Amino acid sequence: MNKNTKHFTMQGHAGSMEGLIDMPLDGRKPRGIALVAHPHPLYGGTMENKVTQTLARAFVALDYVVARINFRGVGQSEGTHDRGHGETDDMELVYRHMVEQFPELPVALAGFSFGTYVQSQLAQRLAAQGTPVERLALVGSAAGKWQMADIPADTILIHGENDDTIPVQAVFDWARPQDVPVVVIPGADHFFHRKLGHIKQWVIALWLGKQLQKDDPEEG
């Protein structure tokens, strides 16, 4: 993604996992850790997915150190798909690894599609352990397809108006009882073709509590 992107490997529950770490630009001190989860492994999802990369870029812009992994059976990561259960366990290992490497920093969780299921489950697990994460940013949330865990009220939810993989109504139905707002991007499909810049804009703006100014020229 940038000159500060580094490959790494670590041991997961099902074997070796490969990943990427992005550091803040220009040597700036990290203000937090962000873990980004990719879409469904059985349908071409990888840590190089464009939405996943866009989320990583957003958190780098926020001066977070960002970690992504390929889930089981993807790229050089060993093991086989485990319907989100093993993937959540592996993401927890990444969480613990990053906290050891960067102690005292808050941790954010972000994900796209299937990755939102993994991150919602991990957030619930960590909260139950007494170590809640700072905040979540979920794009194309897998409501209606996967058993999404309840999420904190300040979670950033972004969805495409024309998503035919996960209809926006399913996300409304999941978010409504939790009173969590949903940012709907007009005309966007599930993969946010030609709309990627909106994801970066909204994550940064909502994370910082600012209003959007103008379109981001970087559409991905």
161-213, pLDDT tens digit by residue?
A: 999 999 999 999 999 999 999 999 999 999 999 999 999 999 999 999 976 55
* 214 in a structural domain: no
Q: In terms of residues, how long is the chain?
A: 220
* Total number of domains in the chain: 1
Q: What pLDDT is recorded for position 116?
A: 98
Q: What pLDDT is recorded for position 17?
A: 98
Average pLDDT over residues 19-41: 96
* 53 in a structural domain: yes
* 213 in a structural domain: no
* 192 in a structural domain: yes
- In what side-by-side order are the strands of the sheet with 15-22? 5-12, 15-22, 64-69, 32-37, 107-112, 135-139, 156-160, 183-185
Which residue range forms the structural domain that includes residue 72? 5-208
Q: Is residue 1 over pLDDT 60?
A: no
Q: How confident is the model at residue 24 (pLDDT cuts 50, 70, 90)?
A: very high
* 28 in a structural domain: yes
* 157 in a structural domain: yes
Residue 104: CATH number of its domain: 3.40.50.1820
Q: Is residue 220 over pLDDT 50?
A: no
d(C-alpha 66, C-alpha 50), whole Å? 15
In 3D space, the residue among 12, 157, 158 whose CA is nearest the CA of residue 73 turns out to be 12
56-115, pLDDT tens digit by residue?
A: 999 999 999 999 999 999 999 999 999 999 999 999 999 999 999 999 999 999 999 999
Q: How far is CA 194 from CA 109, 149, 161, 186, 217, in A?
A: 24, 30, 13, 12, 11
Q: What pLDDT is recorded for position 212?
A: 59
* 67 in a structural domain: yes
